[in-house]
Amino acid sequence: VEASVPEPQREAWRKHSAREFNTSDQFEDAVVRHIETTLARSLYNVDESGAYAGTALAFRDRLVIEWNRTQQNQTSADQKRVYYLSLEFLMGRALDNAMLNVGMKDVARKGLDELGFRMEDIIDQERDAALGNGGLGRLAACFLDSLATLNYPAWGYGLRYRYGIFRQEIVNGYQMEVPDYWLEFNPWEFPRHDVTVDVQFYGTIRKYMDDSGKQHTAWENGEIVTAVAYDAPIPGYGTTTTNNLRLWSSKASHGEFDFTKFNSGEYEASVADTQRAETISAVLYPNDSLDRGKELRLKQQYFWCAASLFDIVRRFKKSKKAWSDFPNQVAIQLNDTHPTLAIPELLRILIDIEGLEWDEAWSIVQKTFSYTNHTVLPEALEKWSVPLVQNLLPRHLQIIYDINLQFLQFVERNFPKDRDMLSRVSIIEESQPKMVRMAYLAVIGSHKVNGVAELHSDLIKTTIFKDFVKIHGPDKFTNVTNGITPRRWLHQANFRLSELIASKLGGYDYLNDLTLLHKLENYVDDKDFRKEFQDIKYANKLRLARYIKEAQGITVNPASLFDIQVKRIHEYKRQQLNIFGVIHRYLELKEMSPADRKKAQPRVSIFGGKAAPGYWMAKTIIHLINQVSEVVNNDKDIGDALKVVFLEDYNVSKAEIIVPASDISEHISTAGTEASGTSNMKFVLNGGLIIGTCDGANIEITREVGEDNIFLFGNLSEDVEDLRHAHYYSGLNIDPSLQRVFDEIRNGMFGDAGQFSSLVNSITDHGDYYLVSDDFKSYVETQKLIDEAYKNQEEWLTKTITVVARMGFFSSDRCIEEYAQEIWNTEPVVPPAKPQNGA
Ligand code: GPU
């Protein structure tokens, strides 16, 4: 790999070095060349998918040139790199993003037009890269965009799943899962068959002494699986910096074992080994905020951590620096606890392989890692059974016990009076079987721990990590409120609005400094600006209405109030509260005189989101929404006054159509359960108001946009525990309006009542854990306020403009600057100037 061309021949290389297209003519050259040679097609057999492929390949060429230059430049800059370890990267489509970041979308539009294609249709050909479940994976994708845009030398490390999150089909109102085989054509990835790592599982431990009497530990005789690197370029916006996303794919190692089997006629056994190895990176686990403790998931985690760390250490060792320099060259961010095995793995490398002493290795580890927590929900906190870890990763279990021993001795010395403390903070839970608490391991092995919104970061300090604040001091714990990339979520998803903003702010600088949006407040009273702003919202609603017609066959009036809740289906996110509210509205409309019904504010309630395949309650909620949709939309009395839509297969590319089209969106989790939420930010940035609880980033959104510009309701997080207690000891207090909703469901208004009994009973008979009954009344009242407020279109418009102007804080660029300064201690690398001859 390390060969380079001798000096005398380099001139020839420079002369012939790959050139970037700059004009639409050159772009067309590249597209046609790719279609005719790479794809072996011609003008006689090229459809939109072929034109997409040609366009993607033309842009890929451009990205690759910048990517190579960036990597060379970052290596010679010799600065600290950031490694973002995430099991999920919910990237969505890459072509539009590449065109915008490279700054060549107009050139491409003209070129495509001349070749006989419409840009929008071409963009639409691409399949989403959906290697994630929801917010956690999308956050990772926004962070990659910001890291490149801000010129930070940073790599993402993840798994190359053959199947991303499943495609959702709705059949008779029920969710069905269809596999997402997304790799049929993926021009954005580069297999690196020369970049491989052998990863070991199972095996045995041998202790031995060397000649000098030093003790060693060897992990041997395990099963080996090979990790192959697949790289994808991540272009920054308005910069040539193009970072790398490295995803690992598993395959059987070609050791002698396979050959022996093969040659001795055990063909099937050898094939079975191959398949077993490939299974590791085959599929993304489709659970959001839930830990199921499956062995294959643990295998995925270790496979990915081991390959990534080997790669990082290999890169560091090339520099020939001392080990003490490792934390000055490497910052590793753990995206939730999924990559926590990287902590014992780095210790294993440093101690068992490189021969460092424990104390030195431990100090390097702590300085290298930092950990982001994304939830306080107990069912999401990862725990692995000790026997499982013992069997799969025997050496790592020993190391974890060693970490725990050192840690507990420290705690005992410092808190001699608090005897219970030791069992509370032990990495090992003394249950049957014993369990490894991954969040505690992540906290102990990191120098910083952050939550993802202020309330959430406060909550982790007073609940799940309370003892650790006492032990490590409060400075270890910090907050970085989440953000979103304005490139995808405004410029790309809502180009007309971006254009309007640019026309007032004197260009697109605001896409690199979102706080500049505040200047829009100067235009809240500008008549022309208001008109255009309103027209854009209407056009976006019209676009969504067309999509709803095409995808779901439901006709909605774009003049209605569009009320949207799109996110994973979860009891804590409370889509059930929303649909009960919709039923309540329907019942009220039914009771009105036709004249009154005419006066009511027409509304379209739009839902979207996937349920984990094994999450029955979530699937029941989807079913209820679809049944309500069926009844309401076909009720001749109701007409446009109310429509209910469940949008199939919500994903990133659909979000780009949905998000710009809301009047109201719903972020209504039980207070204290939603760590941050990020779609709340996307909707507001696109001029939609929100109805929400005092939870997650809703609180900071309120602080930024002002209390008058948001519709808050419901109980506060500090009261949740007492309310749950009250449910248990004194029963529920069900508002008559909610009781009516339950009665009608039980009477079969929405089909077989038995289908929905578990959902209704979870509230009426099983403690109403998510406080639906406590918040229903204020929810419905707040929806009434929204109807009233919407009738005053001028005031509503003023609010929507004002909130956009005040969203500057929520750029993921701001997040990355905070991580860089407070957690990673890293600096950007100035991108290289463009060479004149394209070399
Ligand atoms: N989140 Br834990 C996920 O999307 N998946 C998970 O497994 C876990 C958390 C989300 C939080 O629910 C959401 O509030 C937050 O905005 C997002 O992570 C990014 O931090």
Are the beta carbons of 230 and 190 closer than 8 angstroms? yes
- The protein residue with its alpha carbon nearest to ligand 1, atom 7, reads 289
Query: Of ligand 1's atoms, which has the minimum distance to the CA of residue 137?
Result: 4
Rounded distance from Cα 114 to ligand 1 centre (Å): 44
- The protein residue with its alpha carbon nearest to ligand 1, atom 9, reads 374
Rounded distance from Cα 819 to ligand 1 centre (Å): 18
Q: How many Å apart are CA 361 and CA 825, to the nearest integer?
A: 20
797, burial (CB in 10 Å: exposed 0-12, middle 13-18, buried 19+): middle
- The protein residue with its alpha carbon nearest to ligand 1, atom 18, reads 136
For 623, phi then psi, to 5°, come to: -60, -45
Question: Cβ contacts of residue 252 below 8 Å, gap of 6+?
Answer: 225, 226, 258, 273, 274, 276, 277, 278
Strands (E), 58-115: 81-85, 89-92
Q: Catalytic: which of 226, 239, 670, 678?
A: 678
Tokens of 80: 């600290």
- The protein residue with its alpha carbon nearest to ligand 1, atom 3, reads 136
pLDDT, tens digit, for every residue of 59-105?
999 999 999 999 999 999 999 999 999 999 999 999 999 999 999 99
Of 586, 563, 587, the residue nearest 575 (C-alpha): 563
Q: How many Å apart are CA 63 and CA 239, to the nearest integer?
A: 12
pLDDT, tens digit, for every residue of 180-239?
999 999 999 999 999 999 999 999 999 999 999 999 999 999 999 999 999 999 999 999
Q: How many Å apart are CA 586 and CA 741, to the nearest integer?
A: 10
- How many residues are present in the chain? 839
pLDDT, tens digit, for every residue of 322-338?
999 999 999 999 999 99
Query: Of ligand 1's atoms, which has the minimum distance to the CA of residue 135?
Result: 4
Residue 736 CB-half CA count within 13 A: 1
Of 608, 559, 519, the residue nearest 808 (C-alpha): 519
Average pLDDT over residues 240-251: 98
pLDDT, tens digit, for every residue of 728-759?
999 999 999 999 999 999 999 999 999 999 99
Identify whether 568 is a catalytic site residue.
yes
Q: Catalytic: which of 461, 541, 682, 806?
A: 682
Residue 836, pLDDT above cutoff 70: no
With the most atoms of ligand 1 within 8 angstroms of its CB, the residue from 136, 371, 678, 701 to mutate is 136
- Domains of the chain in sequence order: 78-93+128-479 (3.40.50.2000), 493-810 (3.40.50.2000)
Residue 523, pLDDT above cutoff 50: yes
Rounded distance from Cα 476 to ligand 1 centre (Å): 21
The DSSP result for 26-47, as a single string, is: HHHHHHHHIIIIIS---TTS--
Show the 3-state SS of 759-827.
HHHHHHCCCCCCCHHHHHHHHHHHHHHHHHHHHCHHHHHHHHHHHHHCCHHHEHHHHHHHHHHHHHCCC
Q: Catalytic: which of 162, 448, 567, 597?
A: 567
Query: Of ligand 1's atoms, which has the minimum distance to the CA of residue 290?
Result: 7
3-state helix, strand, coil in the chain (%, to 5): 55, 15, 30
pLDDT, tens digit, for every residue of 393-435?
999 999 999 999 999 999 999 999 998 999 999 999 999 999 9
Average pLDDT over residues 799-821: 99
Rounded distance from Cα 346 to ligand 1 centre (Å): 26
Are the beta carbons of 164 and 179 closer than 8 angstroms? no
Paired strand residues for 228? 196, 249
With the most atoms of ligand 1 within 8 angstroms of its CB, the residue from 338, 375, 480 to mutate is 375
Q: What is the pLDDT of residue 189?
A: 98
Please give the share of the chain, as a percent, with pLDDT higher than 90. Answer: 95
> Cβ atoms within 10 A of the Cβ of 522, count?
12
Q: What is the pLDDT of residue 838?
A: 40
ipTM: 0.98
Kindly report which listed range (5-19, 252-266, 384-398, 610-624) carries the lowest average pLDDT score. 252-266
- The protein residue with its alpha carbon nearest to ligand 1, atom 6, reads 289
Query: Of ligand 1's atoms, which has the minimum distance to the CA of residue 678?
Result: 16
Tokens of 401: 């016990």
Rounded distance from Cα 289 to ligand 1 centre (Å): 7
Q: Catalytic: which of 62, 81, 93, 374?
A: 374
Identify whether 682 is a catalytic site residue.
yes
Rounded distance from Cα 374 to ligand 1 centre (Å): 5
- The protein residue with its alpha carbon nearest to ligand 1, atom 1, reads 136
Tokens of 610: 């996937």
Query: Of ligand 1's atoms, which has the minimum distance to the CA of residue 568?
Result: 4
| Prior bond of 433 cis (ω within 30°) | yes
Residues touching ligand 1 (Cβ under 6 Å) are 133-136, 139, 288-289, 336, 374-375, 380, 452, 482, 674-678, 696
Rounded distance from Cα 656 to ligand 1 centre (Å): 19
Sign of the torsion angle spanned by Cα atoms 299, 304, 307, 309: negative
Q: How many Å apart are CA 78 and CA 81, to the nearest integer?
A: 9
Rounded distance from Cα 698 to ligand 1 centre (Å): 14
Average pLDDT over residues 779-795: 98
Q: Angle at Cα 416 formed by Cα 414 and Cα 421, nearest 5°? A: 90
Query: Of ligand 1's atoms, which has the minimum distance to the CA of residue 456?
Result: 14
pLDDT band at 259; cut points 50, 70, 90:
low
Are the beta carbons of 563 and 664 closer than 8 angstroms? yes
Q: What is the pLDDT of residue 2?
A: 60
Identify whether 678 is a catalytic site residue.
yes
Task: Give the orientation angle of helix 135-149 with respect to helix 95-102, to 10 degrees.
Answer: 20
With the most atoms of ligand 1 within 8 angstroms of its CB, the residue from 374, 449, 450, 482 to mutate is 374
Identify whether 567 is a catalytic site residue.
yes
Q: Catalytic: which of 568, 597, 623, 814?
A: 568
Q: How many Å apart are CA 520 and CA 498, to the nearest integer?
A: 12
Residue 837, pLDDT above cutoff 90: no
pLDDT band at 376; cut points 50, 70, 90:
very high
Rounded distance from Cα 375 to ligand 1 centre (Å): 6
Query: Of ligand 1's atoms, which has the minimum distance to the CA of residue 372?
Result: 20
Q: Give start and end residues of each alpha helix (H) in 289-393.
A: 295-318, 326-329, 342-348, 358-368, 386-392
Residue 618, pLDDT above cutoff 90: yes
Amino acid at 53: A
Tokens of 231: 């790289």
Rounded distance from Cα 92 to ligand 1 centre (Å): 17
Average pLDDT over residues 587-612: 98
Query: Of ligand 1's atoms, which has the minimum distance to the CA of residue 380?
Result: 2
Identify whether 374 is a catalytic site residue.
yes
Identify whether 93 is a catalytic site residue.
no
Residue 258, pLDDT above cutoff 70: no
427-435: which pairs have CB atoms within 8 A and are 24 or more residues apart?
A: 427/400, 427/403, 428/386, 428/400, 428/401, 428/404, 429/383, 433/385, 433/386, 433/387, 434/385, 434/386, 435/383, 435/384, 435/385, 435/386
Tokens of 249: 């794919």
Tokens of 671: 């207070």
Residue for token pair 């076909």: 634
Q: What is the pLDDT of residue 835?
A: 63
Are the beta carbons of 638 and 583 closer than 8 angstroms? no
Residue 181 is classified by DSSP as: B
pLDDT band at 528; cut points 50, 70, 90:
very high
Average pLDDT over residues 819-831: 98
Rounded distance from Cα 572 to ligand 1 centre (Å): 12
Amino acid at 108: A
